[in-house]
Amino acid sequence: MTSEFQSYIDRPYQYGFTSDIEADQLPRGLSEDIVRAISVKKNEPEWMLEFRLKAYRHWLTMSEPEWANVTYEKPDFQNIIYYSAPKTKAAKGSLDEVDPQILEVYEKLGIPLHEQKMLQNVAVDAVFDSVSVATTFRKKLSEAGVIFSSFSEAVHEHPELLKKYLGSVVPYTDNFYAALNAAVFSDGTFVFIPKGVRCPMELSTYFRINTKDAGQFERTLIVAEEDTHVSYLEGCTAPQFDTNQLHAAVVELVALENAEIKYSTVQNWYAGDENGVGGIYNFVTKRGMCEGRNSKISWTQVETGSAITWKYPSCILKGDNSIGEFYSVALTNHLQQADTGTKMIHIGKNTRSTIISKGISAGKSQNSYRGLVKIAKSAEGARSYAECDSMLIGQECGAHTFPYIEVQNPTAQVEHEATTSRIGEDQIFYFLQRGIDEENAISMIINGFCKDVFRELPMEFAVEAQKLLGIKLEGSVG
């Protein structure tokens, strides 16, 4: 049965195709000149270049962290292409001006960019290698006062907002990869919800790495002013190459008083083959600042791809009564490695955090949950609840949990629960004995295990996520 289940898990990656699209690239390698060249390519104002250069100079003083429970050959930063953009200039005024070949790529990925064909009520920003190629529904959104644009455009159109918020949650000094990103980031998404607006539709960014040896370094910045609500989703895929590609993104969220940001990720970067050759290094810094009273930030992630996933979407709960949530499903198979979790930093009074983490390990993969719950002295009446469940499939994989809890206020209530289970022969046999075939059995068991997380996803994507797990996990137990 083990081999059957494994073969079910081992369905091929369906987004691994490459598209031959002519690219405008900078030469390989990283130097101050490259940083300047990126800035020139993007026709950036002086302040933006300054930000990059400070970050670059700081990065030079840093060394790559080694504390994570992952092993890999460190990227050769001089062998990465830091800027690669499709040559045909995508004029954002109209989708008709986007290179039809690129539209085709997104079509093939199931993300049609023509508005009439799109998912109802979901606006998409499509990022292809280093640049944003299309942003849909902009008009409808701007009527509501919502800014939803590529980062490059925002630099020109909303410099004051960017100067105020860029790097305010994740400063370039934060960590090695955040510094690198700040120096070389080429595009990303900017969202601004002005006071009192409930964003009328789901926003999403779809990231696609196309060029071999290109790194993807995008930034996402979402600012929700007082009394607002926004739900945002990102999706990611990449072609199948036998070399590793680096994806080092930074996501910053700012929620002011009574604002709510819901940030969902369905990550399906290429994971490498069954021998661990190729695949994306997904080294991402994601953090949200609950700045105002009663604000709320909720992270939901379904991580199924990447050779290595290394990220901790976090919340700083500064405003009184603010709420941070983290719902995660991380699936690893073959030789994939994941070290993921969250940080909940309670500063304001009566702040609350909830962490639900579901790790599924199959093949020879290693899956770690690492999480910090910190209750500062000022966080009177803070509460935190964490639940970390691991599921093992087969005999050769590993699941690890590293919870860190620091409590400096005696009124806090902190709970942590963890379980480990195995999809075993007996569990599958129970389903088979009731006439339910193995494929359905596994899908039901996995979806049951992940239910608490899936129900946090926007409806349009919950179904997709379930299917994705089905594809990644089709068939193995022991």
Which residues are at the interface with other proteins (CB under 8 A)?
1, 421, 425-427, 429-438, 440, 444-445, 447-452
Diameter over CA atoms, the chain? 69
Please say which residue, 174 or 425, places its beta carbon nearer to other proteins.
425
Nearer to other proteins, 107 or 439 (CB): 439
Task: Give the integer Cα–Cα distance in Å for 177 and 118.
Answer: 34
User: What is the nearest approach in angstroms of other proteins to the Cβ of residue 426?
Assistant: 6
Residue 437 CB, nearest distance to other proteins (Å)? 5
DSSP per-residue letters across 165-221: HTTSSS-TTS-HHHHHHHHH--EEEEEEE-TTPBPSSEEEEEEE--STTB-B-EEEE
Q: Which is nearer to other proteins, 169 or 329 (CB)?
A: 329
**Nearer residue to other proteins within complex by CB, 213 or 425:** 425
Residue 385 or 431 having the CB closest to other proteins: 431
* Residue 168: C-alpha distances to residues 220, 235, 366, 374 (Å): 12, 24, 33, 20
Structure tokens at 463: 């179904």
CB of 400 to other proteins, least distance (A): 20
CB closer to other proteins out of 256 and 441? 441
Could you tell me where the beta strands, DSSP code E, fall in 240-295? 244-247, 250-255, 260-267, 279-290
CB of 304 to other proteins, least distance (A): 18
What order of strands is seen across the sheet that includes strand 229-237?
131-135, 122-128, 202-208, 229-237, 260-267, 296-303, 323-332, 352-361, 383-392, 413-422
CB of 459 to other proteins, least distance (A): 18
Among 185, 194, 114, 113, residue whose Cα is nearest residue 147: 194
Q: What are phi and psi of 10, to 5 degrees?
A: -90, 25
Q: How far is residue 100 from each of residues 112, 134, 185, measured CA to CA in Å?
A: 12, 12, 26
**Count of CA atoms in the C-beta half-sphere (13 A) of 32:** 7
The first and second tokens of residue 217, run together, are: 């370094």
Tokens of 233: 């989703």
DSSP output for 36-104: HHHHHHTT--HHHHHHHHHHHHHHHT------SS---PPP-TTS-B--EEESS---TT-GGGS-HHHHH
Closer to other proteins at the Cβ: 165 or 449? 449
Measured between alpha carbons, how far is 207 from 215 in angstroms, rounded to an integer? 12
Nearer to other proteins, 38 or 445 (CB): 445
> Shortest gap between Cβ of 1 and other proteins (angstroms)?
6
The residue among 260 and 389 lying less far from other proteins, judged by its C-beta, is 389
SS3 content of the chain, % helix, strand, coil (to 5): 25, 35, 40
Nearest distance, CB of residue 456 and other proteins, angstroms? 14
Q: Would strands 23-25 and 84-86 be described as parallel, antiparallel, or unpaired?
A: antiparallel
Q: Rounded to the nearest whole angstrom, what is the least distance from the CB of residue 281 to other proteins in the complex?
A: 31
- Between CA 262 and CA 233 the distance in angstroms is 8
Tokens 């990925």 label which residue? 109
Whole-angstrom Cα distance, residue 220 to residue 139? 20
We find the least distance from the C-beta atom of residue 445 to other proteins, in angstroms, to be: 6
Residue with Cβ nearer other proteins (402 or 431): 431
The nearest distance, CB 224 to other proteins, in angstroms, is 32
Pull the structure tokens for residue 380. Answer: 């009177």
CA 87 to chain centre: 27
The smaller minimum CB distance to other proteins, of residues 101 and 419, is found at 419
> How far apart are CB 435 and other proteins at their closest, in Å?
4
